[in-house]
Chain A
Amino acid sequence: MSLNIFMQQLVNAASLGSLYALLAIGYTMVYGILRLINFAHGDIFMLSTYIAFYAMTSFLLPWYISFAIAIILTILFGILLERGAYRPLRNSPRISIMISAIAASFLIENLAIVIFGGRPKAFPSVPAFSKIISISGVSTSSISVIIPIVTFIVLILLGYIVNQTKMGMAMRAVSKDYEAARLMGINVNTVISFTFGIGSGLAAIGGVMWGLKYPQLIPLMGLMPGLKCFIAAVVGGIGDIKGAVIGGFILGFGEIMIVAVSAFLPYDLSGYRDAFAFVLLIAILLLKPSGIMGKSSVEKV
Chain B
Amino acid sequence: MLKIENLHVFYGGIHALKGINLNVEKGKTISLIGANGAGKSTTLRCIMGLVKKSEGSIVYDGKDLTGFKTRDIVKMGLVLTPEGRRIFPNLSVKENIMLGAYTRTDKTEIERDFDRVYELFPRLKEREWQVAGTLSGGEQQMLAVGRSLMSKPKLIMMDEPSLGLAPLIVKNIFEIIREINDNGVTVLLIEQNAKAALEIADYAYVLETGKITLEGKGSDLLNDPDVQKAYLGEAVTKNIEKNE
> Quick check: B90 and A172 within 8 Å, CB to CB?
yes
> Quick check: B74 and A184 within 8 Å, CB to CB?
yes
Given contacts A183-B82, A187-B71, contact A300 B91 (CB under 8 A): no
Q: What residues of B have a CB within 8 angstroms of the CB of A179 in the complex? A: 50, 82, 86
Cα distance A187–B89 when bound, in Å? Answer: 20
- Please tell me if B220 contacts chain A, counting CB pairs below 8 Å: no
- Mask, B137-178, CB within 8 Å of A = 1, is 100100000010001000000000000000000000000000
17 pairs, CB–CB < 8 Å, chain A vs chain B: A170-B99, A173-B88, A176-B88, A179-B82, A181-B88, A182-B50, A183-B50, A183-B74, A183-B79, A183-B82, A184-B74, A184-B99, A186-B102, A300-B133, A300-B135, A300-B137, A301-B84
Cα distance A4–B167 when bound, in Å? Answer: 71
Given contacts A183-B70, A183-B82, A184-B151, contact A176 B102 (CB under 8 A): no
- Please classify the interface of chain B as helix (H, G, I), strand (E, B), loop, or mixed, using the class held by over half of its residues: loop
Interface residues on B, range: 20 to 34
> Quick check: A301 and B74 within 8 Å, CB to CB?
no
Cα distance A173–B97 when bound, in Å? Answer: 12
Distance of B114 from chain A, by nearest CB (Å)? 14
Cα distance A172–B132 when bound, in Å? Answer: 13
Cα distance A301–B86 when bound, in Å? Answer: 7
- Please tell me if B100 contacts chain A, counting CB pairs below 8 Å: yes
- Mask, A225-239, CB within 8 Å of B = 1, is 000000000000000
- Please tell me if B48 contacts chain A, counting CB pairs below 8 Å: yes
Cα distance A301–B89 when bound, in Å? Answer: 7
Q: What residues of A have a CB within 8 angstroms of the CB of B71 in the complex? A: 182, 185-187
Q: Which of B69, B79, B99, B147 contacts A169 (CB 8 A)?
A: B99
Interface residues, chain B, with chain A CB atoms under 8 Å away:
48, 50, 69-71, 74-75, 79-80, 82, 84-91, 95, 98-100, 102-103, 133-135, 137, 140, 147, 151
Cα distance A300–B133 when bound, in Å? Answer: 6
> Quick check: A166 and B102 within 8 Å, CB to CB?
yes
Q: What residues of B have a CB within 8 angstroms of the CB of A187 in the complex? A: 69, 71
- Please tell me if A99 contacts chain B, counting CB pairs below 8 Å: no
Q: What residues of A have a CB within 8 angstroms of the CB of B140 in the complex? A: 300
- Please tell me if A180 contacts chain B, counting CB pairs below 8 Å: yes
Given contacts A179-B82, A300-B134, contact A184 B89 (CB under 8 A): no
Cα distance A179–B52 when bound, in Å? Answer: 14
Q: What residues of A have a CB within 8 angstroms of the CB of B79 in the complex? A: 183
A182-B50, A184-B102, A301-B84 given; name 15 further pairs at CB < 8 Å: A166-B102, A169-B91, A169-B95, A179-B86, A182-B71, A184-B100, A185-B71, A185-B75, A186-B102, A187-B71, A299-B89, A299-B90, A299-B133, A300-B134, A300-B137
